[in-house]
Structure 1
Amino acid sequence: MIIAVSGASGSLGKDLTKFIEAQGHDVIRISSSLVPDNYSSFSFNDLVKQKISRKIDIFFHLASLNENITEENIFKEIELTNAVLDCLPTMNCTNLIFYSTTKVYGDNSYKYSILDELSPAIPNCSYGRAKKLCEDLVMDRSRESKLNFLILRLPPVLNYSTKSNIGKLISLSKKIPLVSFVQGNKNKRSFISSENIEEMTLKILQKPQLISHNSIYNLADHGHISLNELLRAGGSKKIFLIPNIIFFFFKTIPIFRNILLKLYGNFQVDNSKITAELSVKLNTTSECISNKFK
């Protein structure tokens, strides 16, 4: 098959294109940072001007402004998705995989709750709001045309590159003992590992008819993991635990409040819908980390 990937120069896009090519498929890369060759590499300007005339079997739309999205430029994210939707007919493509985010449900909280696809979408940040509007656009356009789609809502991607925050933390934990709060034993977080993204991608490539489900799915590692479990799974040398009484004190200080919530808050995502309906097996975060570093 011929697969198009927007955002092909991003961290996830690079990994995904390599994986798809390894399965024997041709990949068309679309990115603003690539030199277009008008055959296998195209710019976003080429996309907007509908200069991609090759027939595409599946379009993986990863491109996003990500953390650069503000309230003032949410429309740019929507325009990007709209450009993809507009160009699909010129490529005779009726299958779209749209990568969204679990931030459409909100942000970290100290409350314990599990979010599934029926949970209210109440995004708190511009990125989450932009992605929710793009989801709505995809579904609206699908009803107007013969477009098949899967919307995949991803929690934070576990990127082991030393350029990523998680990668830096795991790398540091292997070299020196780390200090964490006892709270880090109890919080519950969801992530998505590259291993499970590849498993889902393989399922789509093997059974493209699944795209006709035209549905939204949480694509997350199986189960949940605490911050301290995450560090231990990555081979942490040692973790010195600080009593929670000190944690609760720091929570009262405004400068630390948001940092602690990001590290020690809860955000649990349920993936039972995607495993049941699409028959994809997803490993736990601990299993994925162990497989990566064994």
Structure 2
Amino acid sequence: MKVLVTGAGGFVGKGLVPYLERQGHTVVRALRMAKEDNEVGIGDIGPDTDWRVALGGVEAVVHLAARVHVMQAEDLSSQQAFHRVNTAGTLNLARQAASAGVRRLVFLSSVKVLGEEGVLTAASIPRPADAYGQSKWAAEQGLHTVATNTGLEVVILRPPLIYGPGVGANFARLMHWVRCGVPLPLGGVRNRRSLLALGNLVDAVEWVLRHPAAAGRTYLLSDGEDVSTPDLIRHLAHALGRSARLLTVPPFLLLGLGKLLGRRAEIHRLLGSLVVDASAIRAELGWSPPFTLAAGLDDLVAREGEMERSHSCHPIS
């Protein structure tokens, strides 16, 4: 199958493209700027992006490219930017894909469409709390309209936090702290969180590209193992060959400290629960994640081992 992957140079794209090629697919890599013969430069993504060159002969599209959420407070201009890229840009691509004869489009959405905490299931009512989640939810609704009007087969995937080689942001900081033996005041946290290994995500994407019954469906994804933050730290420490240095500090004190430091949202994510019920894709399509949490973390550490050892244990922001 000839597959166009948008955001091919990003965290997920760098894992997905070689995986699809190993499965026998021909991949067209869409990037902002092309640097190699097998890449197509499309510039900025928005309502006016011209996808015609990238879509030539393509049978399916995996749309990964997006404006990702940020921790900073959102103003009107940032909300408009999320809408322009994640909503209008996605629907523009879908309409052009349908016109070009593309059969199926897989859209990487987010569990943030359903909210920031609690137990999320296929029956959960969407309650996006920020501009990122709102833009993804609007894109999902628009894609269903495009599918109805054109016959394009749309598949929507909603992952939680994804970890794997090249992961950044909070997960990278947590790995750094554990590797460097930094005492972490999270031993008293009693939460549950669902995660998704990059290896599991790319396998699920390839699965829904091929499966006839995936057309028109929306699926939540996870590793299937919900862990507390302290248990995640213990798993990371084991994978890194380190000892987990956990201190027990009351969570309310951590939230207060986070507020003083301007990082309340970041601390809340470490303390809160977000559990994803991914049973639907298993029951309907027969998909199961090939990596356990432990195996996913071992793979991450093994593939980033040399890079990690080359970094000194200095504080990171």
Superposed counterparts of 1:4-19, under 5 Å: 4-19=4-19
C-alpha distance in 1 between matches for 2:13 and 2:59: 18
Query: In the superposition, relative to structure 1, how do residues 81 and 179 fare at CA in structure 2: closer, same or farther (>3 Å)?
Result: same
Alignment of 1:113-128 (within 5 A): 113-128=118-133
Partner of 1:226: 228
Aligned residue runs from structure 1 range 211-290, under 5 A: 211-212=214-215, 214-235=216-237, 236-244=242-250, 247-252=251-256, 254-255=259-260, 257-282=264-289, 283-290=291-298
Q: Does the aligned pair in 1 maintain the 2:106–2:205 contact within 8 Å? A: no
Query: 1:182 is paired with a residue of what secondary structure?
Result: coil
Q: Give yes or no for contact 1:52–1:90 (8 Å, CA) kept in 2.
A: no
Give 1:52's match in structure 2, choosing from 42, 45, 54.
Answer: 54
Between 1-10 and 159-168, report the one with greater CA deviation: 159-168
Query: Against the structure 1 CA distance between its residues 180 and 202, is the aligned structure 2 distance closer, same or farther, given a 3 Å change threshold?
Result: same
TM-aligned CA deviation for residue 163 of structure 1: 4.3
User: By how many angstroms is 1:47 displaced?
Assistant: 5.2
Instruction: Give CA-to-partner distance per residue, 1:114-172, whole Å, 9 cap, x none.
Output: 11021110111100000000000011111112111210001111134374431342243
Contact 1:187–1:266, Cα closer than 8 Å, also in 2: yes
Unaligned runs of 5+ in 1: none
Go from structure 1 to structure 2 and tell me whether the alpha carbon gap of 1:4 and 1:175 turns closer, same or farther (over 3 Å shift): same
1:204 aligns to 2:208 (yes or no): yes
The TM-score, its normalising length taken from structure 1, stands at: 0.87
- Distance (whole Å) between structure 1 residues aligned to residue 169 and residue 129 of structure 2: 23
How many percent of aligned residue pairs carry the same amino acid? 23
Q: Distance in 1 between matches of 2:249 and 2:176?
A: 25
Name the amino acid aligned to 1:86.
R
> 1:146 maps to which residue?
151
User: In the TM superposition, what are the counterparts of 1:65-84 in structure 2 within 5 Å?
Assistant: 65-67=67-69, 70-76=78-84, 77-84=86-93
Q: Does 1:130 align with 2:132?
A: no
* Kept in 2: contact 1:100–1:152 (CA 8 A): yes
Name the CA distance, whole Å, in 1 between partners of 2:13 and 2:236: 24
Counterpart AA for 1:156? L
Structure 1: how far apart are the matches of 2:80 and 2:63?
Answer: 22
Give, in whole Å, the separation in 2 of the partners of 1:162 and 1:52.
27
Structure 2 letter corresponding to 1:151: I
Partners of 1:138 and 1:264 in 2: CA distance = 34
Give per-residue Cα distances to partners, 1:162-190, cap 9 Å, x unaligned: 74431342243133143222333x21111
1:102 aligns with 2:111: yes
* Matching residue's letter, 1:289: L
Q: Please name the residue that 1:179 is paired with.
A: 184
Q: 2:95 aligns with which of 86, 107, 114?
A: 86
Is contact 1:50–1:90 with CA below 8 Å preserved after alignment?
no
Check conservation: 1:100, 1:154, Cα contact below 8 A: yes
Offset of residue 26 of structure 1: 1.1
Distance 1:85 1:146 in 2: 11
Cα separation, partners in 2 of 1:52 and 1:182, compared to 1, 3 Å: closer
Kindly report the root-mean-square deviation, in angstroms, between the aligned alpha carbons of the 2 structures. 2.4
Please give the alpha-carbon distance, in whole angstroms, between the structure 2 residues aligned to 1:215 and 1:95.
12
* Number of residue pairs the alignment of both structures matches: 284
SS at 2:247's partner residue?
A: strand
2: CA distance between counterparts of 1:98 and 1:195? Answer: 17
Distance in 1, matches of 2:98 and 2:108, equals 20
Aligned twin of 2:310 = none
Partners of 1:53 and 1:104 lie apart in 2 by 28
The answer to whether the 8 Å contact 1:190/1:268 transfers is: yes
Structure 2 vs 1, CA of residues 36 and 43 (structure 1 numbering), >3 Å: closer, same or farther?
farther
**SS class of match (1:241):** coil
Return the letter of the residue paired with 1:288. Answer: G
When residues 2 and 71 of structure 1 are mapped into structure 2, their CA distance, relative to the original with a 3 A threshold, is: same
More divergent stretch after superposition (158-167 vs 25-34): 158-167
- Which amino acid in 1 is paired with 2:265? N
State the shift of 1:198 in Å.
2.6
